[in-house]
Amino acid sequence: MHLIMIGGSDAGISAALRARELDPAADVTVILADAYPNFSICGIPYYVSGEVTHWRNLAHRTTADLEAAGMRLRPDTTARRIDVPGRKLLVTSADGGEEVIGYDRLVIGTGAVPVRPPIAGLDELGPDDGVHLLHSMGDTFAVMRTLEEDAPASAIIVGAGYIGLEMADALTIRGLHVTQIEQLPEVLPTVDPQLGALVHAELAGHGVEVLTGTAVQAISPAPPGAAGRLAVQAAAADGTPVARTADMVLVVVGVRPDTELAADAGASLGARGAIAVDRMMRTGLPDVFAAGDCVITHHRLLGQTYLPLGTTAHKQGRVAGENALGGTRQFAGSLGTQVVKIFGQAAARTGLRDREAIAAGFDPVTTETQADDHKAYYPGSHRITLRVTGDRATGRLLGLQLSGHKDAEIAKRVDIAAAAIFHGMTVDAVSDLDLSYTPPLGSPWDAVQLATQAWVRHARPH
């Protein structure tokens, strides 16, 4: 049985590892277009900041580890065409040489590519001019070249989603003055604006100039004598022109699934143009599975959606690898659980916010609570802001968003809610969970339980 995984990142490698774990005799080949198998691209901001001191440290596993697990790696090799009936894959190597490789089962893990928004000048300017997109290790090396060779004093970041925010943190640590421009009314639009405002204040407190409700329209070389080498033209929500200059510009406004190979082979596409798969990660093409940022996401509350995340890519890849060997495992579904650290602040969410819950047919109520991360009498406690969303009709917990100090166990707390939502618990039942307590680390009622109790008092008082 020869399995081929296309893609050497979270999904492709997870699939290969799982297949080899289940069948140490399985013949597994991983084809990847670049030379960085199993690199944690989630760690890129921390390499750019200098907190991770060498790019090689971003590898989840080394090439030697992966080969020791029994997979054959084909770096710098691009899959060009899938012959589904013939079960053959046409690939090209870096020198342009073509090769046809036979397979029994195929897993497509081609991931995502950064969105290029319609900004004038973006197609003409590139890394040599100090204008960057950021997704891959190759993009990262280009950013590092600009930082090391041109020693920029300032940067404009277009986009204030989680990657844009992490990069604002990273570039500030490197000593650049950062301007962050976001077209939506608040930063971190994946959480409610009340929590986004806390992140906004954290950015401003670290010297980042934040322009929200501001749409970037053009990037161009700055005129001689300007404060930076690039000029950015934008418009505020009321149409007022906004202009800034900087030495480098980073455009990070999201990703889109990389589906050309699969679509050309006849795979159906679904939400946001991602490859349609069932919960066994089957594409509908015989013997072809797909996983990760290139596929639709089964969401436990929303059904089919597109939610590209590293955690999901690992899980889907594992399912695809098992099923490519003949297994029948199902991807249990995502809740979009995520957390981000920006300077000294963390923000997290799981499940649904009001608008999403309404679209999914719920009758949501959201309440906001503040609670201490541990007993306030023990030094170093921090206030956390929590927003609980539940269904008024059934009392079911639908979502939790929270923000607070980076040491306030924000990630652990969102995970409590993620586990509760995963198992369909009511908001009220969260109080029954037997959570840990000692004064330096928590409270007899955890902050999450205090927040869910406040929701019950407000939404279902009887």
Ligand X SMILES: Cc1cc2nc3c(=O)[nH]c(=O)nc-3n(C[C@H](O)[C@H](O)[C@H](O)COP(=O)(O)OP(=O)(O)OC[C@H]3O[C@@H](n4cnc5c(N)ncnc54)[C@H](O)[C@@H]3O)c2cc1C
Give me the residues that bind ligand X (CB under 6 A), please.
Answer: 6-12, 31-34, 41-42, 44-45, 78-79, 109-112, 134-135, 163, 258, 261, 292-293, 308-311, 313
Report the residue number, 163 or 454, with the smaller CB distance to ligand X: 163
Label residue 38 left, alpha or beta by phi (over 0 means left) and psi (-120 to 50 means alpha).
left
Label residue 135 left, alpha or beta by phi (over 0 means left) and psi (-120 to 50 means alpha).
alpha
Report the residue number, 34 or 428, with the smaller CB distance to ligand X: 34
Report the residue number, 41 or 203, with the smaller CB distance to ligand X: 41
Residue type, 443: S
Report the residue number, 308 or 404, with the smaller CB distance to ligand X: 308
Report the residue number, 74 or 87, with the smaller CB distance to ligand X: 74
Report the residue number, 313 or 319, with the smaller CB distance to ligand X: 313
Report the residue number, 334 or 443, with the smaller CB distance to ligand X: 334
Asked whether the beta carbons of 255 and 312 are under 8 A apart, the reply is no
DSSP letter (8 states) at residue 426: B
Q: How far is the CB of 282 from ligand X (least distance, A)?
A: 17
What are the residues whose beta carbons fall under 8 Å from the beta carbon of 207, sequence distance 6 or more? 172, 177, 178
Q: What is the largest CA-CA distance in the chain?
A: 72
CA-based nearest residue to 256, from 413, 396, 142, 117:
117
CA-based nearest residue to 401, from 436, 433, 355, 343:
355
CA-based nearest residue to 320, from 277, 359, 349:
277
Report the residue number, 197 or 294, with the smaller CB distance to ligand X: 294
Residues in the chain: 462
Q: How far is the CB of 356 from ligand X (least distance, A)?
A: 19
Q: How far is the CB of 307 from ligand X (least distance, A)?
A: 9
What are the residues whose beta carbons fall under 8 Å from the beta carbon of 171, sequence distance 6 or more? 48, 49, 155, 157, 178, 250
Q: How far is the CB of 386 from ligand X (least distance, A)?
A: 21
Q: How far is the CB of 394 from ligand X (least distance, A)?
A: 29
Q: How far is the CB of 254 from ligand X (least distance, A)?
A: 10
Q: How far is the CB of 367 from ligand X (least distance, A)?
A: 27
User: At 320, is the secondary structure helix, strand, or coil?
Assistant: helix
DSSP string, 85-96: TTTEEEEEETT-
Q: How far is the CB of 77 from ligand X (least distance, A)?
A: 6
